[in-house]
Amino acid sequence: MAWADSRDEHARLAADPRDRFRVSGLDGTLFPVMKLRHWIGGEWRAGSSGHELRSLNPSDPSDVVSAIGADGADEARAAAQAAAEAFGGWRSMAAAARALLLNSWADAVASRDEEMARTITREVGKPISEARGEVGRCVALLRYYAGEAVRPMGEVIPGQASAMLQYSLRQPVGPTALITPWNFPVAIPIWKAGPALAFGNTVVLKAAEQSMLCASLLAETAQEAGLPAGVFNVVFGSGETAGAALVEAPEIRLVSFTGSEAVGSIVAESCARRNVKYQTEMGGKNVAIVLADADLDRAATLVAGGAMRFAGQKCTATSRVVVEKSVAAAFSAKLVSAIERLELGPSDRDSAAIGPVIEQSALDRLRTAVSSSAGELLTGGFDPVDGALAKGLYFKPTLVAGLARDSELMTRELFGPVLAFAEAADLDEALSIANDTPYGLSASLFTRDIGSALKYVDRIEAGMVRVNGDTTGVDPHAPFGGVKRSGSHSREQGPSAREFYTEIKTVQIQG
Ligand code: NAD
């Protein structure tokens, strides 16, 4: 990639005074491989020796992006201790001072925005235009939570006696563990760390194995912004070692997890056993319903983008589309051409919409699911991508019709660019298909009829509900989360973040 090939960049990294880089000659190409360090208590600490964890560039897996010792459990425990030591000072700092520091963090991220966007693209294969949007969102989130830090933290409640002041007081909970996935490698850590810190908690982030360099840049920018030592810590390691050790560290009072349902259930169980406050944000099998009266061209464009951009690797990506029978043939033709218009291309090209999938196991899983499906392939498929993209982990955007309601493509979250197409007689049947899933994260309906829209909003089982919009994305200041097995029934972002990252003290004062 251009970034890695640049001689100047290469020389700069090789001469890094902190010796955090080495140069690999894999595949005959020189790449800067970042030797990561944990960021604990305001110090960069070397990882454990032995087996190494590596993040690889999905556009060319011979490009090793970053590396560190795989264990990380001792470092996770040390980081929890550092967060506990820093908690007293941070919680008693004036909220306005915390807000200034969050704004400085936003400035530090903004000043390195292109570097961060390119790192996202290199490390997780996100198309560069979306990666730039993700960094911009981080800046917006940090500024939003800087503002939230100085808003009211309780309310006055009338007392039973006359000479009494009674009020609720929201206070920080304590050292907080953040366990995050790779697909929004900077935005998800920030939409958790922002409110946690704004309201006076300290944080340990255990970043996903596939996006470690992105998380390291968050630590660097937090350091540049002058966050006090121990307030924001970042550790690396596998989920089973570092992740589990962090969740179970006795200092941790609050856990926010985003990732798969399987891991979320383990985290939830561990927290519930010890009565640690937690939230889990997990998978989805998100649906778009298209009614006969919809603007079919607009719907086709939005459904194609919602399903395929970033290779469908968003928790809110559309993976099922249910179309009213009378327009099914016309809509499927429009949808196929909208999908085929999206550019499957090198992620660092501005026009690319669909990059590679994250790792070989994801590619294998998609190939098996599509090749063993009994459905009719309308576009895409499991053939390897060749030519200029042959080195990368690309899977062609795929649309499959004629599937049984209980088939794998209709029920399982595949987390890739695969969309299942179903038909329904009317809105009632479409809603019945839409709700026939254990998940309930995001949904959209395309119609011009207000009555249909209102009925759908009332009956759809999802936390994020759109009419005439795609299933992905949310404003940083709006609540985000799912129902059923998509989450633990709390919400992130917006005003909901204050509820999760604080606890209420009810105060009565009498003269
Ligand atoms: P994952 O569950 O495999 O990993 C998530 C994190 O959990 C990683 O940091 C991992 O190291 C850690 N982990 C693994 N085992 C652990 C353990 N035993 N204890 C503690 N931590 C452990 O998920 P992923 O593959 O990184 O991400 C994809 C999944 O995330 C998809 O299911 C997607 O739908 C979901 N997701 C959900 C949302 C949402 O807001 N609902 C957003 C993005 C992604």
* From 214, 220, 315, 413, active-site residue: 315
Nearest to 495 by CA among 69, 198, 61: 198
Distance of alpha carbon 202 from alpha carbon 389, whole angstroms = 43
- Across the strands, what pairs with 33? 22
Q: Which pLDDT does position 24 carry in this prediction?
A: 42
The answer to whether 319 and 414 are in contact (CB under 8 A) is yes
Joined together, the tokens standing for residue 504 give: 């209420």
Spell out the per-residue pLDDT of the chain, length 511, in tens: 333 344 455 555 555 544 454 444 334 444 566 789 999 999 999 888 778 899 999 999 998 999 998 899 999 999 999 999 999 999 999 999 999 999 999 999 999 999 999 999 999 999 999 999 999 999 999 999 999 999 999 999 999 888 899 999 999 999 999 999 999 999 999 999 999 999 999 999 999 999 999 999 999 999 999 999 999 999 999 999 999 999 999 999 999 999 999 999 999 999 999 999 999 999 999 999 999 999 999 999 999 999 999 999 999 999 999 999 999 999 999 999 999 999 998 999 999 999 999 999 999 999 999 999 999 999 999 887 888 899 999 999 999 999 999 999 999 999 999 999 999 999 999 999 999 999 999 999 999 999 999 999 999 999 999 999 999 988 989 999 999 999 998 999 999 999 999 999 999 999 8
* pLDDT number for residue 70: 82
How many A from CA of 264 to the centre of ligand 1?
A: 7
Burial of 215 (0-12, 13-18, 19+ CB in 10 A): buried
* Nearest residue (CA) to ligand 1, atom 8: 208
What's the confidence (pLDDT) of residue 42? 96
**Ligand 1 pocket check for 61: Cβ under 6 Å:** no
Runs of H (alpha helix) within 125-260: 128-148, 187-198, 212-225, 244-248
What pLDDT does 66 receive?
Answer: 92
Angle of helix 212-225 relative to helix 95-111, nearest 10 degrees?
130
pTM of the model: 0.94
pLDDT of residue 405: 95
At 177, list the tokens: 């563990």
Residue 31 has what DSSP assignment?
E
> Which pLDDT does position 15 carry in this prediction?
54
Ligand 1 center–CA 433 separation, angstroms: 27
CA dihedral 310, 316, 318, 323 (to 10 degrees): -160
| φ and ψ at residue 503, rounded to 5 degrees | -130, 155
Per-residue model confidence (pLDDT) at position 19: 46
Ligand 1 near 315 CB (within 6 A): yes
Amino acid symbol at 228: P
Residue 456's identity, in one-letter code, is Y
pLDDT at residue 18 in the model: 44
**How far apart are the C-alpha atoms of 181 and 176, rounded to whole Å?**
17
Let me know if 499 is a catalytic residue: no
Q: What is the DSSP letter of 242?
A: I
Q: Give yes or no for residue 63 CB within 6 A of ligand 1.
A: no
**Cβ of 483 less than 6 Å from ligand 1:** no
Kindly name the residue from 75, 130, 220, 281 that is annotated as catalytic. 281
Indicate which residue's Cα is closest to atom 18 of ligand 1.
240
Residue 259 Cβ < 6 Å to ligand 1: yes
DSSP codes, 469-492: S-S----TTS-B--EETTBSS--B
DSSP three-state, residue 448: coil
The Cα 378–Cα 333 span in angstroms is: 9
Complete DSSP assignment for 317-332: -EEEEEEEGGGHHHHH
pLDDT score for 236: 96
State how far the Cα of 90 lies from the Cα of 93, in Å rounded to an integer.
Answer: 5
As a whole number of angstroms, the distance between CA 144 and CA 474 comes to 14
Give phi and psi for 504, each to the nearest 5.
-95, 135
Asked about 315 being catalytic, the answer comes back as yes
Residue 419: count other Cβ atoms within 10 Å of its Cβ. 29
Residue to mutate (ligand 1; options 182, 261, 315; most atoms within 8 A of CB):
315
Q: Which two tokens stand for residue 242?
A: 């570092």
How far apart are alpha carbons 24 and 5 in whole angstroms? 12
SS3 226: coil
Let me know: does 277 contact 311? Beta carbons within 8 Å: no
